[in-house]
Amino acid sequence: MTDTNKFREVVRDSGVPMYKVAERLGITPQSLYNKIGNATEFTQSELAKFREAFPEVTDEQFNQIFLKGE
């Protein structure tokens, strides 16, 4: 389960618009909103692309965002 608030915080702090985040992950903006809203899950390859796109995100932040509730 994705922590939507933490995801949005990281993206906001980076200054990257959401549509660009989706582009970097190789998905549509609608698909991104579905994933951060927990309607669907991120794939392993999308998570890897997120790590590449946001290298400033620490392991702890990454776990807080994507491993919430696990």
DSSP 28-44: -HHHHHHHHTTSS---H
Q: What is the pLDDT at residue 38?
A: 95
Residue 28 belongs to domain spanning: 4-66
pLDDT given at position 42 = 97
Q: Specify the pLDDT at position 70.
A: 54
CA distance 6 to 47: 15
CATH classification of the domain holding 59: 1.10.260
14-67: pLDDT as tens digits: 999 999 999 999 999 999 999 999 999 999 999 999 999 999 999 999 999 998
Burial class (CB in 10 A: 0-12, 13-18, 19+), 45: exposed
Number of folded domains that form the chain? 1
pTM above 0.85, yes or no: yes
Residues 6+ apart with CB under 8 A from 21: 11, 32, 53
